């Protein structure tokens, strides 16, 4: 008999996470109102009232309990269209079920087994296996950026990150509050569904680019337990667990979570990542409905990784500067791990080891039931969080120590005591002399901002929906009407001190002192600080959103279906922003506290309202069970949020950004290959871009604004090839031509205002071509699986002027997994095995319109992480 094949079946109320396919006897699982049977002849869905498993062979039961059995190649007689038959719950709101083959939009899904094999370091890493996404996961385990289909917004401001169909954070683009800071991946997650474009903007707020829905385990049918221990070569230790227990025939309770601690691949000399989460869940089913309750708490610290110093080698390729390892180095080090900086009144306690510290409690309740011919669904979520973000942000302008001293001599002309001169010293190492010519082998210095942002958020979200399917003549309509409500209270308090550092791993602080005849006569810095209070913000923001939406899936013939939807959204923003003033703290004789930015006690209110309409129409035509095509057009928008007023409540230039998206695609499956290909077009109008550039002379930010339109044409390709029982390969390709149609701003040149227009340039950071290929082999009756992960990214640009190139790069990874028994597996993952220095972004603080690093020998950019290994042992029953 051919090696067993295992696939996951997707359903919102699925009783277990996977079933055995092509086993000697039929294995089945039940879900509310349906009975799914998977055999060597394929998948069938049968109406039933059963909600428990019939007797099944041990291997099937083990898989339903969550065991990581081999993902062997599909047998020739097997259900090769398993992915097409997956029941999709994301990106729609109908009463009936819809599988991937019938979807009129692009959707990808990842099972718990897929996630385990990929072993993503961060939430952003999950999306590397999804076409259409450009992923920057170089920021560490949190606070990363993703972009989709040429939408020029960072963070998660155009993607709705969801858990069980409800947003983790109503607006994933709140300032310094990326949605991935509020979510952690662990073994409580059963699968992920990712919709790109399509109807996302109809069924979710702030989601023009798509929806990523993380769906948790529900253990109705049999006890399931998962225990995983993982260790890595960067001091990494992590334990994950989940236990789900049925209570009778129609209830379950579950508990799970993780704890992790490590030094970080870029080791700062102290613990970089430390913490975890715990989740409790409860479910109750009946013939016509389900009640689901979920309580989750996160207490986790993760380092925020930022650009590092780089140069070029003799061939013009990216290289590290002497004294700094580009694969493992970080400027963060013990000298700035924990310090108290001057502030009004008591000092400001800054702890860099906190990194991004998330303390979050989230309660979710969802209810589904039948009311006559209508299906009623309501999901409620309350979230309370307090997130602190501490980071060392290098400002740019790497220069030699000699040049730095010359610039200070000019800037301080007339202030230095007669006959004195300047010198640089180590702040905390008076016994060591700083070699201006060649210290650390490079003689370089730079400034860095020690930035601390506190962002508490209280939020309530509720989504109520009525759905009904009915026949009208020979045709079927599946209609839904929904009411969405979200309300959040948001605070944003920001403090910053600017310091001077050597250019070195775990950089040491530097002081600049005026000396006359061997005596110190003036301190330019204090304890390495050039300017205390170099940035300040104090904002309270509120946002209330009410949205009405409706959709209709109209089955015209057995082959043709048309669906349409619209969403009318009303947004009310409020709050206040404190004004600023500059004071002399007069707490030290050094110049460091002479220009301290703080609040002036005057609060300007925020009061703005928006109401907008989004709509979509799509069609799907099934030529056969294994071949279909779709097309769609969507008109949506992105509105400002409360954080757009950070620092200035008087802004009058915040406008709604219209978005138009069109797509067409095919879906095909045979015994040997599955193909999902989508061509797309995106037009983004009237976008407001802000460039905040840090001035190393004044040690403060200057800001400028531009407006532009963008246009993107692209192609997404997702394929799975099954060559035989032993060899298979997945391939994800994204090609996109993403340009600024217009991009205009005004700057002073020789004292005169000049309009600059970069229309026609390529969007920053986004590559034209990205490819991910994962060939795999299955040996020893499928118990041993090896995969090679190859990822290629084309050239990109760090600035709108396209003056700083981020070169193309190729990374190589590998996965080796051995299924010791039906319940026990061992796995080894290797990432970036060739230690590629792949740059994902330049240095935003040097300028994103026109980078100040253009043409420089030394510059700042953020590369991917260096080579790392993890090994894990996984036990499940």
Q: What is the pLDDT of residue 18?
A: 34
Q: What is the pLDDT of residue 58?
A: 27
**What's the domain range around 685?**
224-876
Is residue 20 a part of any domain in this protein?
A: no
SS3 at position 347: coil
pLDDT digits (tens, 9 = 90+) for 212-271: 999 999 999 999 999 999 999 999 999 999 999 999 889 999 999 999 999 999 999 999
DSSP label at residue 61:
H
Residue 613: count of CB within 10 angstroms of its CB: 12
**Vertex 535 angle, CA 862 and 138, to 5°:** 15
Least confident of 51-65, 460-474, 508-522, 647-661: 51-65
User: What percentage of the chain has pLDDT greater than the value 90?
Assistant: 70
State CA 44 to chain mean position distance.
Answer: 36
Look up tokens 């084309």; give the residue.
Answer: 794
User: Nearest Cα to 527, choosing from 514, 505, 509?
Assistant: 509
- Compute the distance between CA of residue 56 and CA of residue 53 in angstroms, rounded to an integer: 8
Residue 678: count of CB within 10 angstroms of its CB: 27
> Which H or E run includes 453?
strand 444-472
β-pairing verdict for 210-216 and 159-163: parallel
pLDDT digits (tens, 9 = 90+) for 10-40: 333 333 333 333 332 222 333 333 333 333 2
Is residue 167 a part of any domain in this protein?
A: no
Is residue 545 a part of any domain in this protein?
A: yes
SS3 at position 767: coil
State CA 396 to chain mean position distance.
Answer: 25
Is residue 690 a part of any domain in this protein?
A: yes
Residue 746: count of CB within 10 angstroms of its CB: 12
495: β partners? 452, 536
282 CB-near residues (< 8 Å, 6+ apart)? 251, 252, 253, 254, 292, 293, 294
DSSP label at residue 507:
P
Least confident of 255-269, 345-359, 471-485, 648-662: 648-662
* Structure-token pair, residue 239: 């334990």
Kindly report the average pLDDT of the chain as a whole number. Answer: 87
Is residue 104 a part of any domain in this protein?
A: no
- Compute the distance between CA of residue 447 and CA of residue 528 in angstroms, rounded to an integer: 10
The pLDDT of 635-656, averaged and rounded, is 86
The pLDDT of 598-624, averaged and rounded, is 95
- Compute the distance between CA of residue 227 and CA of residue 245 in angstroms, rounded to an integer: 15
Q: How confident is the model at residue 481 (pLDDT cuts 50, 70, 90)?
A: very high
Helices (H) and strands (E) in the chain, counts: 5, 46
Per the CB < 8 A criterion, the answer to whether 298 and 184 are in contact is yes
Least confident of 330-334, 586-590, 639-643: 639-643
Backbone angles phi, psi at 129, to 5 degrees: -90, 10
Is residue 867 a part of any domain in this protein?
A: yes
242: β partners? 226, 256
The pLDDT of 194-219, averaged and rounded, is 92
More confident residue, 728 or 746: 728
CA separation, residue 12 to residues 17, 21, 163, 194, 679 (Å): 11, 20, 12, 14, 29
Backbone angles phi, psi at 57, to 5 degrees: -70, 160
- Residue 585 scores a pLDDT above 70: yes
- Residue 720 scores a pLDDT above 90: yes
Is residue 809 a part of any domain in this protein?
A: yes
102 CB-near residues (< 8 Å, 6+ apart)? 561, 620, 622, 628
- Residue 632 scores a pLDDT above 50: yes
pLDDT digits (tens, 9 = 90+) for 547-559: 999 999 999 999 9
pLDDT digits (tens, 9 = 90+) for 800-834: 999 999 999 999 999 999 999 999 999 999 999 99
Per the CB < 8 A criterion, the answer to whether 597 and 533 are in contact is yes
Least confident of 158-167, 283-292, 509-518, 746-755: 746-755
Q: How confident is the model at residue 85 (pLDDT cuts 50, 70, 90)?
A: low
Helix ranges, 364-500 (H): 401-411
Which CATH number do you get for residue 799?
A: 2.40.170.20
Backbone angles phi, psi at 722, to 5 degrees: -115, 95
Look up tokens 């080090």; give the residue.
Answer: 333
Look up tokens 């396209």; give the residue.
Answer: 802
- Compute the distance between CA of residue 635 and CA of residue 639 in angstroms, rounded to an integer: 14
Q: What is the pLDDT of residue 447?
A: 96
Q: Is 813 exposed, middle or buried (0-12, 13-18, 19+ CB in 10 A)?
A: buried
Is residue 184 a part of any domain in this protein?
A: no
Residue 273: count of CB within 10 angstroms of its CB: 24
492 CB-near residues (< 8 Å, 6+ apart)? 175, 176, 453, 454, 455, 537, 538, 539, 540, 541, 643, 646
Q: What is the pLDDT of residue 301?
A: 97
Per the CB < 8 A criterion, the answer to whether 674 and 81 are in contact is yes
**Vertex 79 angle, CA 75 and 83, to 5°:** 120
Backbone angles phi, psi at 221, to 5 degrees: -95, -30
Q: How many domains does the chain have?
A: 1
The pLDDT of 167-174, averaged and rounded, is 92
- Compute the distance between CA of residue 331 and CA of residue 624 in angstroms, rounded to an integer: 58
């Amino acid at each position: 008999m051919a090696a067993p094949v295992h696939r996951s079946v997707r359903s919102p109320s699925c009783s277990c996470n996977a079933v055995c396919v092509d086993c000697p006897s039929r294995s089945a699982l039940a879900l509310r109102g349906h009975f799914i049977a998977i055999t060597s002849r394929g998948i069938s869905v049968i109406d039933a009232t059963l909600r428990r498993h019939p007797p099944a062979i041990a291997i099937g039961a083990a898989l339903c309990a969550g065991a990581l059995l081999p993902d062997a190649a599909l047998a020739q007689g097997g259900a090769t269209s398993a992915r097409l038959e997956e029941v999709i719950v994301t990106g729609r709101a109908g009463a009936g079920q819809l599988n991937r083959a019938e979807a009129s939009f692009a959707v990808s899904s990842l099972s718990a087994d897929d996630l385990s094999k990929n072993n993503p370091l961060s939430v952003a890493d999950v999306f590397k296996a999804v076409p259409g996404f450009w992923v920057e996961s170089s920021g560490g385990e949190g606070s990363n950026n993703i972009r989709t289909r040429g939408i020029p917004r960072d963070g998660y401001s155009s993607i709705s990150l969801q858990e069980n169909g409800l947003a983790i954070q109503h607006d994933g683009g709140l300032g310094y509050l990326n949605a991935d800071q509020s979510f952690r991946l662990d073994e409580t997650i059963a699968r992920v569904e990712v919709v790109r474009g399509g109807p996302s903007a109809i069924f979710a707020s702030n989601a023009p680019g798509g929806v990523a829905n993380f769906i948790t385990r529900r253990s109705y049918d049999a006890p399931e337990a998962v225990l995983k221990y993982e260790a890595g070569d960067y001091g990494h230790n992590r334990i994950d667990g989940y236990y789900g227990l049925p209570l009778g025939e129609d209830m379950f309770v579950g508990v799970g979570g993780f704890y992790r601690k490590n030094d970080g691949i870029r080791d700062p000399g102290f613990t970089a990542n430390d913490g975890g989460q715990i989740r409790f869940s409860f479910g109750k089913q009946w013939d016509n409905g389900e009640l689901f309750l979920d309580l989750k708490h996160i207490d986790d610290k993760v380092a925020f990784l930022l650009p590092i110093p780089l140069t070029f080698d003799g061939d013009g390729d990216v290289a590290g500067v002497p004294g700094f390892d580009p694969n493992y180095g970080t400027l963060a080090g013990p000298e700035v791990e924990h310090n108290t900086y001057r502030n009004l009144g008591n000092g400001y306690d800054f702890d860099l080891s906190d990194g991004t510290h998330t303390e979050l409690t989230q309660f979710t309740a969802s209810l589904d039931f039948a009311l006559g011919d209508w299906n009623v669904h309501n999901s409620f979520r309350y979230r309370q969080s307090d997130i602190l973000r501490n980071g060392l942000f290098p400002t740019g302008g790497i220069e030699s120590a000699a040049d730095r001293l010359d610039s200070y001599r000019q800037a301080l002309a007339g202030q230095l005591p007669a006959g004195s001169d300047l010198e640089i010293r180590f702040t905390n190492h008076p016994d060591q002399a700083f070699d201006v010519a060649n210290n650390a082998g490079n003689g370089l210095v730079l400034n860095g901002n020690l930035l601390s942002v506190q962002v508490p958020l209280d939020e309530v979200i509720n989504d109520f929906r009525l759905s009904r399917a009915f026949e009208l003549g020979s045709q079927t309509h599946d209609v839904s009407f929904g009411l969405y409500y979200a309300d959040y209270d948001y605070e944003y308090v920001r403090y910053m001190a600017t310091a001077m550092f050597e250019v070195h791993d775990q950089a040491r602080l530097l002081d600049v002192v005026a000396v006359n005849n061997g005596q110190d006569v003036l301190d330019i810095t204090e304890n390495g600080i050039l300017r205390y209070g170099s940035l300040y913000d104090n904002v309270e923001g509120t946002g209330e959103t009410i949205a009405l939406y409706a959709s209709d899936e109209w089955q015209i013939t057995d082959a043709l279906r048309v669906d349409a939807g619209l969403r009318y959204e009303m947004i009310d923003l409020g709050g206040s922003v404190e004004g600023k003033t500059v004071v002399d703290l007069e707490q030290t004789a050094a110049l460091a506290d002479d220009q301290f930015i703080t609040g002036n006690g005057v609060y300007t209110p925020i009061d703005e309202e928006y109401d907008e309409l989004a709509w979509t129409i799509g069609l799907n035509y099934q030529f056969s069970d294994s071949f279909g095509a779709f097309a769609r057009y969507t008109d949506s928008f992105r509105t400002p949020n409360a954080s757009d007023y950070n620092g200035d409540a008087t802004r009058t230039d915040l406008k709604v950004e219209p978005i138009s998206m069109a797509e067409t695609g095919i879906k095909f499956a045979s015994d040997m290959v599955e193909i999902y290909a989508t061509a797309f077009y995106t037009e983004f109008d009237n976008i407001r871009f802000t460039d905040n550039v840090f001035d190393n002379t004044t040690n403060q930010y200057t800001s400028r604004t531009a407006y532009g339109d963008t246009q993107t044409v692209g192609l997404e390709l997702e394929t799975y090839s099954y060559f035989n029982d032993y060899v298979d390969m997945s391939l994800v390709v994204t090609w996109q031509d993403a340009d600024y149609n217009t991009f205009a701003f005004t700057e002073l040149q020789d004292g005169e205002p000049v309009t600059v227009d970069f229309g026609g340039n390529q969007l920053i950071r986004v590559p034209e071509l990205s490819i991910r290929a994962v060939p795999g082999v299955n040996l020893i009756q499928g118990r041993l699986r090896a995969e090679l992960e190859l990822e290629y990214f084309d050239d990109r640009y760090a600035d709108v002027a396209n003056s700083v190139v981020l070169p193309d790069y190729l990374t190589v990874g590998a996965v080796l997994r051995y299924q010791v028994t039906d319940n026990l597996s061992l796995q080894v993952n290797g990432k970036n095995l060739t230690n590629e220095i792949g740059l994902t972004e330049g240095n935003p603080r040097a300028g994103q319109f026109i980078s100040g690093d253009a043409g420089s020998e030394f510059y700042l950019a953020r590369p991917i992480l260096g080579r790392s290994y993890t090994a894990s042992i996984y036990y499940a029953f």
